Structure formats: structure tokens, C-alpha cells
């Protein structure tokens, strides 16, 4: 069965610091998808990024970057020059390929990121 572990339950940094959120996953499938979502206090999950298992290229989007390493089953998320608006709970999630279907996501427990001004 698949599993996602986010070992950091809460991280607190001062604005403008860089911060990395860790995500480690377990799956028996060779084809799978990894995601990061942001959940602000309002509760809605905001999609940030999707990665396919066969695409290990790292990605940068503005202040956000993601490091996908199959060898260590990790998909870490870095925020550069953090801002107060980045404060939220961040979830890493995994979806296994199910023969043409799109299965339910398995989420980690989430990391509560607090950016102090």
C-alpha cells in the first residue's frame, strides 16, 4: 500500500528565510504521481505542482522549487525568500496509476508552515 510521510509537523521561520518541506513516499507501482497542495486557513486545498514518476526533472516556479529524487523516494519543496502569505499547511500527496483511471490521493499528515514577520 502507498504511504506518504511528512516528518515535519510544524516549521516556523522568519520572513525572507528559505525553508524546505520534506516528503518521503512509499509505493510498489512504477508509475505514480506526486503532488503538493497548500491549505490556507480558509480550508481550500490549492494545487501547486504535479510530478510523474518517469519525470525526475526538478522544477522552479518563482520562489517555489521542487526536488524529486526517485533513489530516495523523496519529493521536497523549497520556498525561497519566504513571505508571510506563505503561511499555511502544506500537503504532499501520492496517486498510483490504476489502469487508465485516476485514483484517490494518499496524503501526508501535512506540515504547518509559519512565517513570522
Question: If binding is defined by CB under 8 A, does position 111 make contact with other proteins?
Answer: no
| Cβ 90 vs Cβ 21: under 8 Å | yes
In three-state secondary structure terms, 71 is helix
Number of residues interacting with other proteins: please give it, by CB under 8 A: 24
Q: CA–CA separation, 51 vs 49, rounded Å?
A: 7
Question: How many CB atoms within 10 Å of residue 20?
Answer: 13
Binding to other proteins (CB under 8 A) within 46-105 occurs at 46-47, 50, 91, 93, 95, 98, 101-105
Pairing verdict, β 88-98 and 101-102 = antiparallel
Site string for other proteins, 7-46 (x = CB under 8 A): --------------------------x-x-x----xxxxx
Closest approach, Cβ 92 to other proteins, in A, equals 11
**Closest approach of Cβ 66 to other proteins, in Å?**
15
Amino acid at each position: 500500500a502507498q504511504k506518504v510521510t511528512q516528518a515535519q509537523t510544524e516549521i516556523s521561520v522568519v520572513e525572507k528565510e528559505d525553508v524546505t518541506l520534506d516528503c518521503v513516499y512509499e509505493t510498489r507501482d512504477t508509475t505514480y504521481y506526486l503532488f503538493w497542495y497548500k491549505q490556507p486557513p480558509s480550508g481550500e486545498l490549492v494545487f501547486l505542482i504535479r510530478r510523474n514518476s518517469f519525470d525526475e526533472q526538478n522544477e522552479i516556479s518563482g520562489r517555489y522549487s521542487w526536488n524529486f529524487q526517485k533513489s530516495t523516494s523523496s519529493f521536497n519543496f523549497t520556498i525561497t525568500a519566504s513571505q508571510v502569505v506563505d503561511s499555511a499547511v502544506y500537503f504532499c500527496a501520492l496517486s498510483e496509476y490504476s489502469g487508465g483511471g485516476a485514483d484517490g490521493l494518499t496524503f501526508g499528515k501535512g506540515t504547518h508552515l509559519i512565517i513570522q514577520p
